[in-house]
Amino acid sequence: MKNALNLPRWLRRRHDRRILMAMDDRMLADVGISRSQIDLYLSGARGR
């Protein structure tokens, strides 16, 4: 049951990651992250 509850969160994170990975480096710089930080940004670890 726990996995079923995490599915929407996982899908949203996957969708967000695809959007960020599709951006070029200049667009990512405008947002304030680098390509190597995308996974940290999505996991929330960047703000810690």
Helices (H) and strands (E) in the chain, counts: 3, 0
Band of residue 2 on the pLDDT scale cut at 50, 70, 90: low
Pick the more confident residue, 42 or 48: 42
**Mean pLDDT, residues 8-36:** 93
Please list the helix, strand and coil fractions of the chain in percent, rounded to the nearest 5, in that order.
Answer: 85, 0, 15
The residue type at 14: R
d(CA 37, CA 40): 5
Residue written as token pair 């667009």: 27
Q: Band of the pLDDT at 47, cuts 50, 70, 90?
A: low
